[in-house]
Amino acid sequence: MDKICGEILSMFKKIISILAGSVFIAIGINYFAIPHHLVDGGIIGLGLIAKYTLGLKPGLTIIVLSLPLYIYAWFHFRSYFYNGLHGLLVTSLLIDYFHPLSSWDTAPILVSAITGGFMIGTGIGIMLLTKTSTGGVDLLALMIAKSTTLNVGIIILIIDSIVILFGWIIIQETTIIFSSLMVIMIGLTTFTITKYYTE
């Protein structure tokens, strides 16, 4: 009985963390990043690039780009598949659902980069506390790290840097300094939340 109650409580915590984390990420992207054409790293960054250049829905783009990774994970890294799928779907859907926020008046670019990074980092951190994630690059990095001797954090940093540089090259409005500042803020916030929780 205690085991069943524990599993139900764990599942409830995971649901709450996915919903809360996804809302933080969706607000951070739509209200702070999109109005200033800021680019995040990873799959979310590619979704934003698709939004800025082609007018595609970033959330839907994130799902489509993540599909090959999840198909591969299903066959080779089943636990990573389960831990990332729910976070990916909910986050992507809420990013598109909260899209009207991107047309609201927002803060200046410096404040938006810092606040947006804090919001997105908080969302990711909350989800990581229950071993869920938004998938995408996190999933890819975990799979690469599992197959090599590279540190997962280094892999994520490399991929994020490539995506930001790519966005800066093809999108004239993108400011690489403020996008980098936002990504640094995301990393610091995520690190702080997960470190505080484990300690």
Give tens-digit pLDDT for 100-135.
Answer: 999 998 889 999 999 999 999 899 888 878 777 776
Q: Which of 58, 59, 177, 187 is nearest to 121 (CA)?
A: 187
Q: How many CB atoms within 10 Å of residue 6?
A: 10
User: How many structural domains does the chain have?
Assistant: 1
Helices (H) and strands (E) in the chain, counts: 8, 0
Q: Which of 16-25, 107-116, 187-196 has the lowest mean pLDDT?
A: 187-196
Q: How high does pLDDT run on average in the chain?
A: 85
If one compares 82 and 185, the residue with the highest pLDDT of the two is 185
**pLDDT at residue 197 is higher than 70:** no
pLDDT at residue 1 in the model: 66
Q: What is the pLDDT of residues 29-44, one digit of tens each?
A: 999 999 999 998 888 8
Helix (H) / strand (E) containing 159: helix 152-170
- 62-71: average pLDDT: 88
pLDDT at residue 95 in the model: 95
- Would you say the C-alpha torsion 130, 112, 62, 73 has a positive or negative sign? negative
**pLDDT at residue 80 is higher than 90:** no
Q: What is the pLDDT of residues 127-184, one digit of tens each?
A: 878 777 776 777 777 777 777 777 666 777 788 888 888 888 887 777 888 999 998 8
Q: How far apart are CA 146 and CA 179, in angstroms?
A: 29
Under 8 Å between Cβ of 143 and 79: no
Say what angle helices 42-54 and 137-147 make with each other, to 10 degrees. 140
The parent domain of residue 151 ranges over: 2-198
Task: For residue 77, give the DSSP letter.
Answer: -
If one compares 57 and 6, the residue with the highest pLDDT of the two is 57
pLDDT at residue 5 in the model: 76
Q: How far apart are CA 41 and CA 113, in angstroms?
A: 13
pLDDT at residue 190 in the model: 85
**pLDDT at residue 71 is higher than 90:** no
Phi, psi of 146 (to 5 degrees): -65, -30
Under 8 Å between Cβ of 119 and 25: yes
Is pTM beyond 0.85 here? yes
If one compares 66 and 10, the residue with the highest pLDDT of the two is 66
